[in-house]
Amino acid sequence: MFVCLCAGVTSHVVNDVVAAGASTSKEIAEACGAGGECGRCRRTLRAIIEAHSVAPGIDGCPTQFNGCPSRA
């Protein structure tokens, strides 16, 4: 799915950039261009950053979930 239409950046690219250490929308913009133009995608970028920052529980699922969604 495209996250940033201005730069043509997909969620896969943004996830890779965040996994490599980007922790702000500015760092993502510097790495791949997403969020560097009009800014409409910055909320989505912050959500992706937040999703990466949730610590996994014992079963590998984020601790905020009560059970793993993939096991439902």
Q: Which residue has the higher pLDDT, 14 or 54?
A: 14
CB within 8 A of 24, min separation 6: which ones? 49
- Stated pTM of the model: 0.74
Average pLDDT, the chain: 85
**Through-space distance between the first and last CA atoms of the chain, rounded to whole angstroms:** 24
CATH topology classification for 2-71: Arc Repressor Mutant, subunit A (1.10.10)
| % of the chain with per-residue pLDDT over 70 | 75
pLDDT digits (tens, 9 = 90+) for 42-53: 999 999 999 998
Domain ranges of the chain: 2-71
Find out whether 11 and 52 touch, Cβ atoms under 8 Å.
Answer: no
Residue 8 pLDDT exceeds 70: yes
Hey, what amino acid is at 21? Answer: G
Confidence of residue 9 (pLDDT cuts 50, 70, 90): very high
